[in-house]
Chain A
């Protein structure tokens, strides 16, 4: 049982505040650190990994400060986001070196490479690896000493769907076995598939914390805006507004389109095509007009 405690931690770079008074506890199981790009996820992970001192507050591992404390790495494994990783070595040489630095031997390296299914390419130079392969070798290097805490910064970037599933499986297993696994992502679906517990960071602030279903509901229950073009906008508008899932419709004459505000996301997505078919209306285009992640997150912050 290993727990990372972050208490009122802030970190600023000059005048820029990257992390602002964050308090959270990361315990056993898989935790997803969710937030848009530039929200401060990497800064937070770097503080948890001992590569950045908190400007204020504290970051501890089972009560011990992480900053300037090399002994924490017996318990922590880190999968960094950056790609730099001794490209002139083969995958095996790289993982063996990482094992040796932990005072372990070749068996640990082979075991870790087997865990990430990279044995088939272990004798190739890392320089020849694809991004997904690099990611898995990084993962193996973090697993050699079977750490009780695993920190991963955007681990799914550049992975193909199969590799993604495989890594998710692996992380899930590690979480189930009582290890503390924390990964960051800016993609809601990734976090949702893997983590039961989510911490949301927006603009350096801790915006939400808890069960993913709760957060998902917050995210999906917010008003969604769509821009819809059809063969008969007014008939479609009249039919849609009769349903409670639609809160408002504006007929935008200059654009030649409908601006629809839906309050019940699930029901509306089912309603729209059905209504169109019933009235023999052709839908020319349906596009969400505020689906950017930023707007989703900013909604969360105000919620």
Chain B
């Protein structure tokens, strides 16, 4: 199911100099915001939750998910180098599964770690805020990676669609239309975080059982479907 060579190639492609720099921008910004908030307004649990929920979970993690998820396969399909993976006696779902693991790992490192650090800077993990949002970040990393990896497999415009989903659906639409929040990775991961944080500091519109079912369902179905799509990936000629 997991191929170390595919993983190595994917890591190197994802963490190439330019992409790694892009991946670092938002985490650095998050920590900068945390330091600034702490310096200007001191320790406040609600503020800490607002910063982590409003910026880290709502904006930073989906964007990193887009970069890592689509970046784990999209560029290879675009430039044709995926041929070297496909022309091997290797089950294509293995390629997808391996790339998913890599995308998850990268998304987790670049989102959960800075979320945890920022939480500690903001209120020193008071009310378990830092830990709760870190758990949410870890959970969200899995679902986003699977979703955006599928997107990178099926569409050449994966980054644009991913950005629209991350910014318009999760952030804007979700804040206007209640129903959209039920279908939001962000809300599902908040439902998980809700359990560990102090009372009333984190709220989700989705109940925990439903959230877990949706998280697992989306991850499994997206990964399975991406594997199927890769099996019939058509490399059109240059002509």
B28 at the interface (CB under 8 A from A): no
Contact A81 B13 (CB under 8 A): no
CA distance A80 to B237 in the complex (A): 10
From A39, A40, A78, contact of B87 by CB (8 A): A78
B84 at the interface (CB under 8 A from A): yes
The interface stretch among B119-127, B167-175, B200-208, B228-236 is: B228-236
CB distance from A76 to the nearest CB of B (A): 7
Given the known interface contacts A82-B79, A88-B12, the answer about A101 and B88 at a Cβ–Cβ threshold of 8 Å is: yes
Contact A101 B80 (CB under 8 A): no
CA distance A86 to B237 in the complex (A): 19
A10 at the interface (CB under 8 A from B): no
The interface stretch among B1-9, B49-57, B135-143 is: B1-9
Determine the chain B residues whose CB is within 8 A of the CB of A37 once the complex forms: 239
CB distance from A184 to the nearest CB of B (A): 10
The interface stretch among A47-55, A158-166, A290-298 is: A47-55
B85 at the interface (CB under 8 A from A): yes
Interface residues of B in 72-116 (CB under 8 A from A): 76, 78-81, 83-92
Determine the chain B residues whose CB is within 8 A of the CB of A100 once the complex forms: 4-5
Contact A81 B92 (CB under 8 A): no
B231 — nearest CB in chain A belongs to which residue?
A: A68
CA distance A97 to B8 in the complex (A): 9
A235 at the interface (CB under 8 A from B): no
Contact A84 B87 (CB under 8 A): no
A98 at the interface (CB under 8 A from B): yes
CA distance A98 to B81 in the complex (A): 12
CB distance from A18 to the nearest CB of B (A): 7
Contact B89 A73 (CB under 8 A): yes
From A39, A46, A98, contact of B84 by CB (8 A): A98
Determine the chain A residues whose CB is within 8 A of the CB of B12 once the complex forms: 86, 88-89
Contact A82 B5 (CB under 8 A): no
Contact B84 A42 (CB under 8 A): no
From A53, A84, A89, A98, contact of B234 by CB (8 A): A53
Determine the chain A residues whose CB is within 8 A of the CB of B90 once the complex forms: 70, 73, 101
- In this complex, how many residues of chain A approach chain B with their Cβ under 8 Å: the count is 41
Interface residues of A in 1-57 (CB under 8 A from B): 13, 18, 37-43, 45-46, 49-53
Given the known interface contacts A68-B232, A74-B89, A101-B3, the answer about A40 and B239 at a Cβ–Cβ threshold of 8 Å is: yes
B199 at the interface (CB under 8 A from A): no
Determine the chain B residues whose CB is within 8 A of the CB of A50 once the complex forms: 86-87
Max count, chain A CB within 10 A of own CB: residue among B4, B9, B91: B9
CA distance A11 to B16 in the complex (A): 38
Determine the chain B residues whose CB is within 8 A of the CB of A214 once the complex forms: none
CA distance A97 to B128 in the complex (A): 44
Contact B238 A81 (CB under 8 A): yes
A13 — nearest CB in chain B belongs to which residue?
A: B236
CA distance A42 to B91 in the complex (A): 24
CA distance A26 to B9 in the complex (A): 34
CA distance A203 to B192 in the complex (A): 60
Contact B81 A84 (CB under 8 A): yes
Contact A101 B238 (CB under 8 A): no
CB distance from B205 to the nearest CB of A (A): 42
A279 at the interface (CB under 8 A from B): no
CA distance A73 to B88 in the complex (A): 5
Contact A86 B234 (CB under 8 A): no
A102 at the interface (CB under 8 A from B): yes
CB distance from A83 to the nearest CB of B (A): 8
A141 at the interface (CB under 8 A from B): yes
Given the known interface contacts A82-B80, A84-B79, A84-B80, the answer about A101 and B85 at a Cβ–Cβ threshold of 8 Å is: yes
CB distance from B86 to the nearest CB of A (A): 7
Determine the chain B residues whose CB is within 8 A of the CB of A141 once the complex forms: 84
Max count, chain A CB within 10 A of own CB: residue among B88, B231, B234: B88
Contact A88 B81 (CB under 8 A): no
Map CB proximity to A onto B1-42 as digits: 1 under 8 Å, 0 otherwise.
001111011001100100000000000000000000000000
B8 — nearest CB in chain A belongs to which residue?
A: A97
B3 — nearest CB in chain A belongs to which residue?
A: A101
A71 at the interface (CB under 8 A from B): yes
Contact B232 A49 (CB under 8 A): no
Q: Which residues of B contact A (CB under 8 A)?
A: 3-6, 8-9, 12-13, 16, 76, 78-81, 83-92, 231-239
Having A43-B237, A83-B79, one finds 6 other A-B pairs with CB under 8 Å, namely A37-B239, A77-B87, A82-B83, A85-B81, A101-B90, A102-B88
23 residue pairs from A and B, CB less than 8 Å apart: A39-B239, A42-B237, A45-B237, A46-B236, A50-B86, A51-B86, A51-B235, A68-B232, A74-B89, A76-B87, A81-B237, A81-B238, A82-B80, A83-B79, A83-B80, A84-B78, A84-B83, A85-B84, A88-B16, A101-B84, A101-B88, A102-B89, A141-B84
